[in-house]
């Protein structure tokens, strides 16, 4: 039986995909260096602790586990950090993807699913992007991912492999049953940060930019629940196994919420007010970015199950409370 290699499968999105793969009986091996991932987040799969940039390690895993499909999540993903340390992003996101593709070529891997980002679009005229919208990233994170997309497309054009590239919009929420979640430290993702503040992990919540040309002056994003995004990866896998052609697809719900609307949702679900601080815009942020995702629905027969902001927040808050419980000092009775 062939296996699926998931790079970065101990991280936030990768672990949710691994869990769904394992639930339907897939044979999965994860390679993760645990720099931002967690050993206990890998459920139902073998974990190999190591770096995806280690070609000898990757080659061994591909051979020993008879891998025919790779799902590639391993990457740095923080936009502000990419602006301050761009070489870190080009090294890990772009150069390591090149090395991984070289290993796949040598091993004869036939199918590849790539974790990309809406950051490849940059600032669009309307704030809405479909897959044909020009790609003009405004930060090194988006640029590093676009370079990887180009390498993947060019390699697959030789006929050696087929791929599905999934461009994520703003991923949020956690496994609704609370088994796994978003545990990455120092995250800059709004819903996670807001929920961390709600449980007392952060003293306040910052709004970066209140002067955008949006209805309430704050940035607008398309938030997709991580479980719906994970399901899109399984649909992509089925598409490739059925002999489907290479695709590049947006992953979003097709509508957005402003920063203030998200804060209102967290306050509504949590039942308590948040301490909000207004700060200047951050470098690398766009005013508005919303997906057109009709192609994902049409080509992969994907149907979202959790398109509800309050539900997304509720699952994120559930996980933050669980993390807070685990980190609380343990007391013993007399």
Q: Which residues are catalytic, by number? A: 141
Record the tokens describing residue 212, joined without a space.
């955008």
Its sign, for the CA torsion 115, 36, 253, 303, is positive
Contact between residue 43 and residue 18 where contact means Cβ atoms under 8 Å apart: yes
3-state DSSP: the chain helix, strand, coil percent, rounded to 5? 40, 20, 40
Strand pairing report for 111-117 and 170-172 = unpaired
Who's near 69: CB < 8 A, 6+ residues apart?
A: 2, 4, 5, 109, 110, 111, 112, 113, 237, 240, 241
Record the tokens describing residue 25, joined without a space.
């009986």
Complete DSSP assignment for 115-174: EEEGGGS-S-SSSEE-TTSPP--SSHHHHHHHHHHHHHHHHHTTTS-EEEEEEE-EEE--
96-107 and 140-156 are packed helices; what angle lies between their axes, rounded to 10 degrees?
A: 20
Who's near 133: CB < 8 A, 6+ residues apart?
A: 121, 124
Phi, psi of 246 (to 5 degrees): -65, 140
d(CA 85, CA 92) in angstroms, rounded, equals 12
């Amino acid at each position: 039986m062939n296996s699926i290699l998931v790079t970065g499968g101990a991280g936030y999105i990768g672990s949710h995909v691994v869990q769904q793969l394992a639930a339907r009986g897939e044979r999965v091996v994860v390679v993760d260096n645990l720099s931002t991932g967690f050993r206990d987040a890998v459920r139902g799969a073998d974990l190999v602790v190591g770096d995806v940039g280690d070609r000898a390690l990757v080659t061994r895993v591909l051979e020993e586990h008879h891998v025919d499909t790779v799902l590639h999540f391993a990457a740095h993903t923080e936009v502000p950090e990419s602006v301050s340390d761009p070489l870190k992003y080009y090294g890990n996101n772009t150069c390591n993807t090149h090395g991984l593709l070289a290993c796949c070529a040598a091993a004869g891997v036939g199918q590849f699913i790539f974790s990309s980002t809406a950051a490849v679009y940059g600032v669009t005229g309307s704030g809405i992007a479909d897959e044909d919208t020009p790609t003009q990233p405004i930060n090194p994170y988006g640029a590093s991912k676009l370079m990887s997309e180009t390498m993947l497309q060019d390699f697959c054009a030789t006929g050696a492999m087929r791929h599905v590239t999934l461009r994520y919009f703003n991923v949020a929420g956690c496994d609704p049953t609370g088994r796994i979640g978003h545990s990455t430290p120092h995250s800059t993702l709004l819903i996670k940060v807001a929920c961390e503040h709600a449980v007392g992990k952060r003293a306040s919540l910052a709004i970066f930019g209140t002067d955008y040309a949006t209805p309430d002056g704050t940035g607008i994003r398309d938030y997709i629940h991580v479980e719906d995004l994970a399901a899109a990866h399984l649909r992509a896998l089925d598409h490739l196994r059925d002999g489907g052609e290479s695709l590049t697809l947006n992953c979003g719900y097709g509508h957005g919420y402003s920063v203030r609307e998200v804060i209102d949702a967290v306050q509504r679900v949590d039942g308590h007010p948040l301490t909000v601080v207004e700060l200047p815009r951050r470098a690398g942020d766009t005013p508005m970015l919303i997906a057109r995702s009709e192609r994902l629905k049409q080509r992969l027969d994907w149907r979202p199950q959790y398109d509800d902001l309050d539900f997304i927040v509720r699952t994120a808050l559930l996980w933050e409370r669980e993390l807070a419980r685990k980190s609380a000092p343990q007391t013993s009775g007399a």
